[in-house]
Chain A
């Protein structure tokens, strides 16, 4: 009996365990911020392909379909290992970061989106909505040396990657839904937004790498324990990355669809 109750308890707790990169909350917040900055024409054009769903409806679609038959190739598009020295493309040249590569490829393909069939446009929207977000998550601009690290978050041993995927935002913004969080974070004026969206996906990626380095270097030395102090500082990086991702996603989509 006791065993059954224990199983049931653990089962129900497990049922609420989160599994998404940046977690559902981070990705949804990014998409909501982007949604608030889409031009009316871009929004109307996008809606034609999404059956009127907002882009946030697809914020975690890539996580849900990464192993779905036909989409397996996208499984490796979430995290980049760009600084591995042996990473080369087919011609032996240093490979482009995988997410940057696909974001640029899709932006190029979508430059004349009306020539593409509807399902291709929809898939590309789903990919962009997620990958621009992933690219800004500190553990998705991955450094091999950080990968095996385990941390202790309030007594729970978790991967450093998993902590950044969801726990930082979940713990620091507990009780806030993505829509509320988007409204809270979306406070930049036009000049600041223009500054954030300038540059290319390569530039944005370089910034994300710098944020990833800062996040790692803030870790307490000689210990794997993650303290609340770390979370208080980490959330500043997380929020900045979420805000940047939101504005940049809007910029990418406006460039494609506002015509």
Chain B
């Protein structure tokens, strides 16, 4: 029995990195992106992925870090920011003694992946496929608020809240969004059917700006999750529902935005008729 609990605990200990945007959320993001690829981009990307779509690989990045040659990807799920909302570069985060800050190297990994794809004439087939999957996985993660680590808000990452006599981890809430129940029955097609409904103009606005601006703006926006709870907040059934209602529209926006932006990056890379996304 003790062994089972220990095994479970080991599995859960890796949960934050392995299960960002839990459930089918990342599949939904990738499916929205796939639905917004131009036919030219989709043809090239599906061919590069051996006939699979990007949706097929939505969780690939979360699962690949244990594979030999990919262990470095374990640090590619988070980004770190200063109190003044400046991105902390990976060369600095790597020296941190705080594990979560140390692993916040997603921005550089994303930029590198985009650059490899921009110059894919020099890349192998395997490198092209890997870097498409990196873009899909990292950009999805970087639209999940718990994947932003703020130097001034590190203690807040340990915040707990209570529902009935149970204790919950607030960061875990953002990764799973489980309590909202909103997405528990959704599969990829539900995400596309319900969320892929922005007008061309709305999509243009969501995908305008540079790759770096998206991430810096997200960092600014996602700070608000710490204003939506107080440490050790206690909920009963009614107050929990009132609290949760705040998240539903926010989370659907973040998910939708991620899908459109992944499509925007890939269209710029794989369709000559689409201007590439600028990195900085």
Contact = CB atoms under 8 A, between A and B. Distances in A.
A67 B242 contact: yes
A12 B193 CA distance: 28
Interface stretch (B127-135, B137-145, B177-185): B177-185
Contacts of B199: 52
B185 A11 contact: no
Given A5-B8, A8-B12, A177 B241 contact: no
A54 B181 CA distance: 18
B168 A177 contact: no
- Say what secondary structure dominates the interface of chain A: helix
Contacts of A28: 185, 190
B189 interface: yes
Interface residues of B, number: 31
B9 A5 contact: yes
Contacts of A20: 181
A16 to B, nearest CB: 6
Contacts of A19: 181
Q: Tell me which of A7, A65, A178 has the highest count of chain B C-beta atoms within 10 A of its own C-beta.
A: A178
A102 B245 CA distance: 24
Interface string A47-79: 000001110110010001111110000000000
A165 to B, nearest CB: 12
Classify chain A: how many residues form its interface, as a range.
35 or more
B194 A24 contact: no
Contact of B197 (A5, A54, A66, A179): A54
Contact of B241 (A15, A67, A179): A67
A69 B238 CA distance: 11
B168 A57 contact: no
Interface in B160-205: 163, 166-168, 176, 178-179, 181-182, 184-187, 189-190, 193-194, 197-199
Contacts of A108: none
Contact of B184 (A11, A24, A53, A179): A24
B244 interface: yes
Given A11-B168, A20-B181, A28-B185, A64 B190 contact: no
Interface in B2-35: 2, 5, 8-9, 12
Contacts of B167: 7, 11
A53 B189 contact: no
Interface of B: 2, 5, 8-9, 12, 163, 166-168, 176, 178-179, 181-182, 184-187, 189-190, 193-194, 197-199, 238, 241-242, 244-245, 248
Interface of A: 2, 5-12, 14-16, 18-20, 23-25, 28, 52-54, 56-57, 60, 64-69, 177-180
Q: Which 3 A-B residue pairings sit nearest by Cβ, starting from the closest?
A: A15-B178, A177-B187, A25-B185
22 contacts: A5-B8, A7-B166, A9-B5, A9-B8, A10-B166, A11-B166, A11-B167, A12-B12, A15-B168, A15-B179, A16-B178, A16-B184, A19-B181, A54-B194, A57-B194, A64-B245, A65-B245, A68-B242, A178-B186, A179-B190, A179-B193, A180-B189
